[in-house]
Structures are given as structure tokens and as C-alpha cells.
């Protein structure tokens, strides 16, 4: 039986990167739940309208708190232009620094895992030299997609690679040609050219498409002929697995 008698409480002046998983609130770890309930400050990335995917996933843990908490949304422009993103991280790190200097504990919520394409990584770079930092891993969309497909990512000698829709055509094509299992993250805007590359490399029948994994609007397509050849949402990916696999 799981022993839940031990409560893990956030420590003073400590910066926590807390993974909240891909979308299902029940996939939070017990440690993540307890830190969310005990932290003095909770921060997260938000869009220009103030909505946060990470906070939405953790909403039940926040609602279950017995004491009020200060929330610090970090507005983030949805742009591939790094100048804007770095300015947002600079501003956020200074704001969080003020709370840490005051001796408060700060939990930063991240979709998936904090150190796997996670926004926490950029704040960690800015704050780790001055403050105690801890990371609570979360279930990544890669693992969640394999569970949704009920397919192993790798078997025996199969090779496996993760790339991004932000990589060049040459890089994605190389991954598809060289590796048995390929996950292509951040597929949204790149979806049409990823589809073209799957055709070009002969991996069309190997491809699976998923978006909003673990959420009420989850979409899973195993036959890419059923997928629109147009840009999709940010939270989407392709999982490419060989039809013939070792046994």
C-alpha cells in the first residue's frame, strides 16, 4: 500500500520546477501535488489572454489548498522569435527573484517534464547560481503518446530519436531515414511539411498523429490519410514507428 503519511513541503527560498504531465490532472506525481499545496508562490507560463495550460492541469491541486497562494503568471508571446521570449524570461526571473530573496518558496509549473523542452529550463539558467533549486520530473508527451497508442517506443535493437517541427527539412528527413522510431514534437505549424517528409521518406504508413494528449479534446489519428494537410495546434506531435517490429 502507498504510504501517503509523509508530506513533502516546499522549503524556504527554494525554486522548484514541477512537471504536471501532458494534460490529465491525475498524472501529477504525489510530490508535485504536495509542493503545489505547500508553496508560497506558484508561477506558470500564460498566453496573451492570461490562460495557462500548466495551471489548468494543476487546477485541482491548487483548489485543494487550505491556504491562499500568490500566483505569478508569466506572459509569453507565442513566437519563434527568441528575442521576445528571452525578454519575457528575463522579466519573470527578476519577479521570481524578489520572492525568493524574501524567503518564499516558488513552484513553477511546466507541462510535461520541466527539463524536456520545458520553459523552466530558461528560468533555471537565470536563477540557479543564486538560489536552491529542485526539479520534480513529470510525464512527458512522448511517454503519454506511447500510452495512448498502446505501442512501445522502442523494442530490442530499434533506434529512437526525438526531433522538433522547428528543425529543418534536412534534419527531420535524416531522422526519419536513420532511425526506427521517431517522435516529432511541436508539429503544429510544421504539420504540412512533416506530412510531405513522411511521404518522401516512405514512412507515411508508419506515422501516427496526436494532439492535446490526456485532455478532453485529445485527438489520435493512426491513418494519416485522415489528417488535414494544414497547420495544427501547438500541442501536437507525430509518433513514427515501424510497421514491422522485432519480437
Average per-residue pLDDT for the chain: 94
Q: For the residues of 97-125, what is the DSSP string, one character each? A: HHHHHTT--EEEEESB-TTSS-THHHHHH
pLDDT value for 1 = 45
Angle at alpha carbon of residue 171, lines to 170 and 174, rounded to 5°? 85
Domains in the chain and their CATH numbers? 14-136 (3.40.1010.10), 141-240 (3.30.950.10)
163-177 average pLDDT score: 97
pLDDT value for 245 = 84
Residues 6 or more apart whose Cβ sits within 8 Å of residue 243: 205, 206
pLDDT value for 95 = 97
Cell numbers linked to 104: 518564499
pLDDT value for 79 = 67
> If we measure between CA atoms, which residue out of 20, 231, 233 comes closest to residue 118?
20
Instruction: Tell me the sheet residues that pair with 14.
Output: 132
Residue 222 CA: distances (Å) to CA of 82, 148, 191, 207: 34, 11, 15, 7
State pLDDT tens for residues 176-232. Answer: 999 999 999 999 999 999 999 999 999 999 999 999 998 999 999 999 999 999 999
Left (φ > 0), alpha (ψ -120 to 50) or beta: where does 188 sit? alpha
80-95 average pLDDT score: 90
State pLDDT tens for residues 93-115. Answer: 999 999 999 999 999 999 999 99
Under a CB-based contact definition with an 8 Å cutoff, are residues 215 and 209 in contact? Answer: no
More confident call, 39 vs 2: 39
Residues 6 or more apart whose Cβ sits within 8 Å of residue 153: 142, 143, 146, 160, 181, 183, 239, 241
Q: What is the pTM of this model?
A: 0.91
Amino acid at each position: 500500500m502507498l504510504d501517503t503519511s509523509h508530506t513533502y513541503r516546499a522549503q524556504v527560498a527554494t525554486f522548484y520546477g514541477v512537471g504536471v504531465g501532458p494534460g490529465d490532472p491525475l498524472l501529477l506525481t504525489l510530490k508535485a501535488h504536495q509542493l503545489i499545496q505547500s508553496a508560497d508562490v506558484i508561477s506558470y507560463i500564460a498566453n496573451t489572454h492570461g490562460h495557462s495550460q500548466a495551471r489548468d492541469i494543476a487546477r485541482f491541486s491548487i483548489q485543494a489548498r487550505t491556504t491562499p497562494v500568490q500566483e505569478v503568471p508569466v506572459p509569453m508571446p507565442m513566437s519563434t522569435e527568441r528575442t521576445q521570449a528571452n525578454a519575457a524570461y528575463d522579466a519573470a526571473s527578476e519577479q521570481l527573484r524578489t520572492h525568493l530573496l524574501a524567503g518564499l518558496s516558488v513552484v513553477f509549473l511546466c507541462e510535461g517534464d520541466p527539463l524536456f523542452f520545458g520553459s523552466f529550463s530558461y528560468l533555471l539558467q537565470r536563477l540557479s547560481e543564486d538560489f536552491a533549486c529542485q526539479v520534480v520530473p513529470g510525464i512527458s508527451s512522448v511517454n503519454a503518446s506511447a500510452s495512448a497508442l498502446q505501442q512501445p517506443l522502442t523494442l530490442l535493437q530499434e533506434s529512437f530519436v526525438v526531433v522538433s517541427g522547428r528543425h529543418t527539412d534536412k534534419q527531420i528527413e535524416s531522422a526519419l531515414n536513420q532511425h526506427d522510431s521517431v517522435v516529432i514534437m511541436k508539429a503544429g505549424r510544421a504539420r504540412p511539411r512533416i506530412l510531405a517528409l513522411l511521404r518522401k521518406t516512405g514512412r507515411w504508413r508508419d506515422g501516427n498523429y496526436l494532439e492535446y494528449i490526456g485532455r478532453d479534446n485529445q485527438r489520435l489519428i493512426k491513418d494519416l490519410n485522415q489528417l488535414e494537410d494544414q497547420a495544427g495546434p501547438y500541442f501536437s506531435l507525430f509518433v513514427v514507428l515501424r510497421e514491422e517490429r522485432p519480437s
